[in-house]
Every structure is written in C-alpha cells, then in structure tokens.
Amino acid sequence: MPIAPDLLKSETYQFFTMPGRGEGPSQRSGSAACRLRLVALDFFRTPDEPFANLPGWSLEPNYREWEGLRLAHYDTGGDGPVVLLCHGEPTWSYLWRKVIPPLVDAGFRCIAQDMPGFGRSDKPTDFGWYTYDRHTAALHDLIASLDLHGINFVVHDWGGPIGLRAATEAPDRVASTIAMDTGVFTGTFKMSDNWQQFAAYVERTEDLPIGFLVKGAVAREMPDDVFAAYEAPFPEPQSKAGARAFPPMIPREETTPDARTGRRVRADLAAAKWPKLVLWADKDPVLPTKLGEAFAAASGSEGPRWIENAGHFLQEDAGDEIGAIIAQWLKR
C-alpha cells in the first residue's frame, strides 16, 4: 500500500558537540566532546503513483535503510564490470535512462543511486540536514552495502563532488572515473553569472519548478511526458528541500571545511593512477566549456570530449551517444 505524501518522522542517531570534557565514552574534536543523541528526523516520502509509466524508464528501485531514511538505487544486475551512475541537482536517476542501455548491451552492470532528497529516496525537510559530508557518507554506504569493487564512477553536476570524493576516499574500489559537466568545489573559483542567477532564484523560491529548471538547461526539445518525469519525485513544496539546499552548499571562500575537502579531493584525483575521462556539453549555460578544459587539466583526465548540441543536462540531450562513448572507452 503506498504511503501518502505526508511528512514522516524517524529517529536516528547524530553526533553533537558539547563544551568541556564530558563523561563517559566520547570522541574528541578540539576541546569539545562529540556524543551521539537520538533525534527526530522529518522527511517526505513520495508515493509510488507519480513514478508509474514514465517514458523510457522501467527499472524498479531497490531500497536500503540509512540514518533513519529509506534510500533508493537501481541495479541492472549481471556479473559484468560495475558502472556507478551519480546524478546531481535537481535530477534523479531517470537522467541516466538513455545512457544505461548501451552500457548494458556492452556487458556492464549499471547501478544508479537516488541521492537523499531526490528521486525515490526519502527527502529530509530540514535544509540543515543536507551537507557534503552526509551525501558522501550515503554513497559510501551504498558501495559498502553492495560490496562493490572495480567501480567505474560516472558522475554529473553535484554527483561529481560527491562521487569523486567517494572514489578518492576508497581508491582500492575504483577502476576509472568519467566526469561530465561537474567539478570539485575549492572556494577559489567564481561561479558564472548564470549560476549566480540560478542560485538566487532557488533560494527565494519555495515551490521550485524542477521540470523547468531541467528544461531550461537542455539544448534540444523536451517532450511534456519527460518534463513530468523530472517533476514526479517532487509533488509538493515540502519535497523540494534538497533541491533548494544544494546551491548554498557550494563553498564561496577557500577557508571553509568543504573548500579544504574539495582541494584534497582535487589533489588526490590528479594523483590517482586509474583512467580518467571528461565529457562536456558544448552548450552548457551553467558550466561553460572553459571549465571543462580547466577541470580535465586539473584532474589529469583525458578530454574533454565535447558532446555537440547538448546543454548542462547532456544525458537528456545525447544520452545514447554518451552511453556508447563510455562503453567504447571502458572497453579500450
């Protein structure tokens, strides 16, 4: 029986800090004692009905419990090499629907995660819940729960900072990384004017029009039923906290903890010996081509290979082509 799209509540343990030495077992962070406390977590769970009969999408979700949330991923199965697909903001795994078939036809096992706050995963309603650390931890949990090795990470948008960090933190599990229209945030680069306008709009818009955000950043026509598929996970304003929380998470100063983490990830990625590829859209209105060139150089990656007549959501514009490119590159 589907769960009504109401606010739900779970209980989960979280770290908190308190001044002084405290009593009993603790972890130290400077002079503060870090302890666990049981906290209530409000979240939104999208019912099943909006996901019925989506065009071009037949994969059923697999669920696992993590930090009091039910998180979704999709697995094509098989015993071939693993391709782990990491979406970004404000999409969900539906973005990969055209990329997956060429990879499966080439013998790969494709796994796509819905990040917490997106797709069929539960969606915490508190903006403060959404952090770089927490989303990286959720991806690590998926990798560990499925005991994945020899992973070919395919990352896009916010899936890049998260997926590439997970890769550099577990290098023994990595076979390769393929990044598209993404990067790692170091607090040293000024985002484009288009991105600044997007971030300001997201911050002031409670009922964020997810479908319009995706449609506005593709280069080709988007049918109405595909537009509705991107809207499907977010039927009410309360379901959109994650989509609104991500832009402010980008560090604007290089002294912030996330900026320091980003610089570490960039350095570790550049030093990594596994094969690396960058694909980039030639008409991305958010992350222009010069960023693709800079990211490929900084990360020591092959490319960028340009995807023609494609916008920021290049998988939507040219997913079949991208899937074939990745499959051929991995088979080389």
Clarify whether 157 is annotated catalytic.
yes
Burial tier of 29 (Cβ tally within 10 Å: 0-12, 13-18, 19+): exposed
In this structure, are residues 230 and 94 in contact, taking their beta carbons and an 8 Å threshold?
yes
Q: Which of 114, 157, 181, 317 is catalytic?
A: 157
What is residue 22's three-state secondary structure? coil
- Which of 251, 232, 233, 245 has its CA nearest to residue 206? 245
- The continuous run of DSSP H or E covering 326 comes out as helix 314-330
Question: Out of 114, 181, 258, 284, which one is annotated catalytic?
Answer: 284
> Edge to edge, what strands does the sheet with 69-75 contain?
62-66, 69-75, 109-113, 82-86, 151-156, 174-180, 276-281, 302-307
**Residue 64 β-bridge partners:** 71
Alpha-carbon gap, residue 76 to 99, rounded angstroms? 12
What b/e string do you get for 78-89 counting C-beta neighbours within 10 Å, with b at 16 or more? eeebbbbbbbbb
Enzyme catalytic residues: 157, 284, 312
